[in-house]
Each structure stands twice: as C-alpha cells, then as structure tokens.
Structure 1
Amino acid sequence: MVAFLCSTGMELIQKTSDLSAYLAADDVVDHHHPLVRETAARLARESVDSYAYARSAFEFVRDTIPHSADSGDPRVTWRASDVLEQRTGICHAKAHALAALLRAEDIPTAFCYQKFEVLHGLVAVRLDGAWHRQDPSGSKLGADARFSLDGERLAFTPDPDLGELDHPGLYAEPHPAVVGVMKAAPGLASLMRTLPLVL
C-alpha cells in the first residue's frame, strides 16, 4: 500500500502498489467496449492534453448521465458501457463510467468511497504525479461537484458528528460489496434499500 495526501490534507491509501492495476479493464470497467472507445475517442479529439480530456470526461458523465435517484429512473446500471448506453445510473455507476473513459485514454483511475446514509461512490484520478478525488454524481440539491486538481470540489463533505466519513482507500476495482448489490437489484428502489453502509 502507498499513501498520498489529497488536497484537503487527508491521507489517501493506494491499495495496490502496481499503478497498471488502475488502468485495467474488467466486467464492470469495460473500457474495451466499442461504445466506451467511441465516446473516449470523441472526447479526446476535442481535448488538447490529458488534463483537458479528464475534465471533459468528468463533465460528460456528470452532465449527460442523470443520477437515477434524481431523475426517478428505476433502471439499475452497473457496467460502464451500460451506463453510457442507457444514460442513467447512481453515483457508483457514474463512477464506473468515468473510470472506463479515463482508463481508455491511459489515465490511472481509482475507486473511492464516502459514508453517508449509504456508501457514496466517486473516483480518484492520477494526474501530475498525485491522486485527485472527483465526484461525477451530479450537482443537484445544493451540491456543486466540479473537476479540480487544485482543491477538492466534491458533491458532499462528510460530517463526522453525524457518523459520516471519507474512506481513505483507493481501489483498483469497484468494491465487491457495492457491485454485488448492484448486480442483484431488480430496480432502483431495491438497490437503494440494499446499498452497503460500510466497506
């Protein structure tokens, strides 16, 4: 494990020392899928460098894929290509889609989590030699999530007095506890009742 300080001073722990693990494709982060590759290629054509691409990918996921709980869409997506195709997903699904787009362009991306009433999913992107957490879930209900390498602009800030917290782990794969309930849920209502509270 390798530790890094994020811009808020919190220590982030890279759970896998091999950085190439944060570029891998799998069943969830299927960045080899034609739709992911096509979307990544289009965004890359409009970007002058890795920073511009990462920001464009973040804004694309944040702004063009509604959070299912906000939009009332009952469908559950968990695979990155499905999130892009169906244009819906909860925070975890949107994190999977963003990770796939970033990894498709060789930008290491980790999965990270916050604990609120349920576990909230976001990503960390490795640029300029450091990890930077990003929250593509959206900017609704007073949240103002923005792409930033200079101070975090996440959707939500945990309140320790309420038992909320930031998990410091940077995972190469989405946490199996999260993916398991997403795969098993027949619809959004069921998923929201079964999302884990802790890792």
Structure 2
Amino acid sequence: MEKYLECSEYIDWMHPLVGFKAKELAEGCYSDESIAKACYEFVRDSILHSWDHQKNPVTCKASDVLIHGTGFCYSKSHLLAALLRANGIPAGLCYQRLSAGSGGPPYCLHGLNAVFLKEYGWYRIDARGNKPGVAAAFNPPQEKLAFPIIEAVERDLSEIWAEPLQIVVEALIQNKTIEQLYQNLPDIEVIAK
C-alpha cells in the first residue's frame, strides 16, 4: 500500500496548497470513507473539466490543477489521488479506453481513480465532472462511473497504477492548449475480444 500513499512529481500532495485543501476537506469528517467522499465531490464539482468548459491551461500536476481550477479527466484524477494521499488514504489511478466521440474511432484513454476504503477494499471513482448524460457518484460499494463500456474495443483496464501512465503525462505536457490535447488524446492498442 505504501506506493499508493507516496508523493511524486505529478501527485504532489506535499505541495502546501494541496496539503491545506486536503486538511480543509477532512474537517468534520468521521471516517476515511467520509473524507474520501468530500475529496471526490470537491474534485468532481469544483474543478472544471477543461474541455467541457473550454478552459486553458492544460494541467498535469495535482497542484497545478488546484491552482488553475481546471483539468482533463487525467489531471483531475491526479488531484484526487493527491488529496486522498495527503489524508493518509491509499489512492491509485485507473483508466478506461473509450470512444472519443459518439461511438467508433477515434478512441482514447479516460482517467479515473481507485481509493482503498477499509470497509470495501479498492473502490473505483470517477471525478471527471458531471454534465447532461454523465452522472458519476460516490456510493460504495456500487460503482457509478462517468462512462459505461459499450463497444467491443472499449475496455475497463483493471490495473490500479500508483503513478500516471507515461503516455498520459506526455500528452498533458506536450500539448499546450485544450484544442491541441483534444486532437492528441492518449490511447493504447487493445486486442479485440
């Protein structure tokens, strides 16, 4: 579990602003589950999804997401992991491979989180941000993710990573505007079922 509590370049929970926000969100909470829910709802509802709101800059580090108040799903998952880890709650990164449009190519990765809750074990949560047709929620032990898997080449990737995938980090760092990133969303090849 130690690797899911570490501070790193992109999940920089020791940054003073991230630590302060994590402590603030935990105030009045009575359990790891209630702290996790407060952190989740803050990131889902208060950090704008960059593409939905057409808001630059492209962020990657958790602290930058908090400072700018915006991020793509990947970046928002970095902030959520940082807030959870700052509160001593193990958190990792998960991915889905989804159609980037309304079905069919192109495909891209979608970033979300897994949090370790004492009562339930690993529980996946998706703080991407709700909008019409997208209604993710924190309701353990039932998952309520933003997107269902529909097509044969879409996937729920079962791994829980302690650090963001390199392909995700490269996309966030190399593309300086949301428009550039949208044209270069990270993807991986999968073998058809």
* TM-score, length basis structure 2: 0.90
Per the alignment, residue 12 of structure 1 pairs with: none
Structure 1 stretches of at least 4 aligned residues deviating more than 3 Å after TM superposition? none
* Aligned pairs (5 A) from 1:1-16: none
How far 1:173 moved relative to its partner?
0.5
Matched, 1:186 2:176: yes
Give 1:107's match in structure 2, choosing from 89, 101, 106. Answer: 89
How far 1:141 moved relative to its partner?
2.9
1 CA distance for matches of 2:18 and 2:34?
A: 18
Q: Is the 8 A contact 2:56 2:70 kept in 1?
A: no
The one-letter amino acid of 1:74's match is N
Matched, 1:137 2:119: no
Give 2:157's match in structure 1, choosing from 155, 164, 167. Answer: 167
2 CA distance for matches of 1:33 and 1:197?
A: 30
- Compute the RMSD of aligned alpha carbons: 1.1
Gaps of 5+ in 2: 99-106
Per the alignment, residue 70 of structure 1 pairs with: 52
* 1:20-59 CA distance string (max 9 Å, x none): 0011111100000000010011111131111110000000
1 CA distance for matches of 2:94 and 2:133?
A: 22
Aligned-pair identity (%)? 41
**Matched residue count:** 180
Per the alignment, residue 16 of structure 2 pairs with: 34
- Which moved further from structure 2: 77-86 or 41-50? 41-50
Gaps of 5+ in 1: 1-18
Per the alignment, residue 20 of structure 1 pairs with: 2
Give 1:126's match in structure 2, choosing from 103, 116, 122. Answer: 116
* 1:102-129 CA distance string (max 9 Å, x none): 0001111111000113110000000125
